[in-house]
Amino acid sequence: MTLQLGEIAPDFTVESTEGTVSFHEWLGDSWAVLFSHPADYTPVCTTELGAFAKRKSEFDKRGAKLIGVSVDPLDSHTGWAKDIETTQGAALNYPLLADDDQVVAELYGMIHPKADPKVTVRTVFIIDPSKKIRLMLTYPPSTGRNVDEILRVIDSLQLTDTHKVATPVDWQNGEDVIIVPSLSEEEAKERFPEGWDEKTPYLRVVRQPK
């Protein structure tokens, strides 16, 4: 199955380290970060799960829930969670799905076509409160994910959903943004009465709205 941005994230019901998760019900009206792992007891993923646990409060502030998925069973997750806490200094504080039947992996197109069928692609999905997929970011097994980048994308999506702006390259929360080209001159004056820096008619830089 190939998913695209803007599609409704597939629903599922799977056991996790925090009990049974019915995904759409669990998501509610929150944002979510769903991130997949190829298997338990993998070194890069161990560091990632620990990092997400340490920084969960930053996702909480953005109204974003964390949920991991691995194709190994629940008893394996339990043992791995102990290693994560021991080596990373943070206990799991969000669900880790036990997708040993590969229900989630199949629904989200995470089975690696040229690898062992138990190996899943390491993908991050950002899902909004309307349950639409807003980002898909796939990493190779050797490269750890960047938590700062995932938070940055959530900040950008939440800002640009509210205001008629886009965020430029390397943007960080609080920095200048771009007025979307679809906004007319008159509409821009109403929304941004303090004015903007017009680099070109299609590149209008403005202070980030509050």
Residues with active-site annotation: 45
Backbone φ, ψ for residue 148 (5° rounding): -60, -40
Cβ atoms < 10 Å from Cβ of 165: 22
Q: For strand 96-98 and strand 64-70, is the pairing parallel, antiparallel, or unpaired? A: parallel
Q: Which helix (H) or strand (E) holds 122?
A: strand 122-127
Q: Which helix (H) or strand (E) holds 53?
A: helix 43-54
CA distances from 204 to 160, 161, 162, 173 (A): 15, 18, 18, 18
As given in the structure block, the two tokens for residue 93 are 């504080």
As given in the structure block, the two tokens for residue 4 are 């695209």
User: Distance between CA atoms of 68 and 209, rounded to whole angstroms?
Assistant: 33
User: Distance between CA atoms of 185 and 90, rounded to whole angstroms?
Assistant: 50
Q: Which residues contact 80 (CB under 8 A, 6 or more apart)?
A: 40, 41, 46, 72
User: Distance between CA atoms of 154 and 62, rounded to whole angstroms?
Assistant: 8
